[in-house]
Structure 1
Amino acid sequence: MATSTGSGFDTETLRQAVEGPSEEILVSLYADDAEIRIVDRNTQPSHPMVLHGRAEIADMFHELCSREMTHKMEHCVAQGDHVAFSESCRYPDGVRVLAESMLSLRDGKIVEQTMVQAWDE
């Protein structure tokens, strides 16, 4: 069932793009001036990886979508101009990744995303 936030963001479209995965649809969800901050073992909170603008975000999704792995959106909560979701991923060799994201929206587009991810080691 699709859930639209107050800003017109459709969480079902997000689910389909994540689980596809669909690089084109994922990129279309972001504003031109969007920013993604990624925190993990290698890019810790004091020095996160930061992607600025739709072009850098598109490059990341291009690389990510080219990997052989499955993606599943586990949970998604939307309230007003904020969306939070959990994503689990699995590589063919069994390595798993869990990511938690918080999104801020403007005019139905993602303008900020903070993602915290953990990988099997």
Structure 2
Amino acid sequence: MFDVATLRRSIEERDAANLIDLYADDAELELVDHLNPPSKPRVLRGRAEIADYLTDVCSRDMTHRIEHLISEDNMVAFTERCEYPSGSRVLCSAILHIADGRIGREVGVQVWDE
């Protein structure tokens, strides 16, 4: 069973190590944002690539707040609001596909303040 409480806590506390542990070794993370449009998303393959990304995000001086967290069967979905000390904000929406109690695939869309 996937632990959504650990997911929420790890994101909101910027705990990269615990967050990385939630991913399967062969997980895939697809990101769409202002730098990576839907026709050319950023795709990270494997826990090592995903770990590099999550370590970078968690090291940034910003707050993360999970909203609208839904978990059903082998799917988890949530929105995440982030804010930098400058006041710049990011809104993320993610869908996680869970296999054997770990994240096997994640699709995320991020929108940033200009």
TM-score calculated relative to the size of structure 2 = 0.98
- Counterpart in 1 of 2:52? 59
Structure 1: gaps spanning 5 or more residues: 1-7
Secondary structure in structure 1 of the residue aligned to 2:97: strand
Amino acid at match of 2:75: H
User: Displacement, 1:10?
Assistant: 1.2
Q: 1: CA distance between counterparts of 2:68 and 2:18? A: 19
Q: Is 1:50 paired with 2:43?
A: yes
Alignment partner of 1:95 out of 82, 88, 98: 88
* CA displacement 1:56-97 (0-9 Å, x = unmatched): 000001111111000010111011000001100000000000
Q: Is 1:23 paired with 2:19?
A: no
| Runs of 4+ residues deviating >6 angstroms | none
TM-score calculated relative to the size of structure 1 = 0.93
- Counterpart in 2 of 1:34? 27
User: Displacement, 1:52?
Assistant: 0.3
Structure 2: gaps spanning 5 or more residues: none
- Counterpart in 2 of 1:4? none
> Number of aligned pairs?
114
Amino acid at match of 1:50: V
Amino acid at match of 1:12: A
Identity %, equivalent residues = 49
- Counterpart in 2 of 1:86? 79
Root mean square deviation, CA, Å: 0.5
* CA displacement 1:1-43 (0-9 Å, x = unmatched): xxxxxxx001111100000010001000000000000001210
Tell me whether 57-66 or 92-101 shows the greater mean CA deviation: 57-66
Amino acid at match of 1:95: S
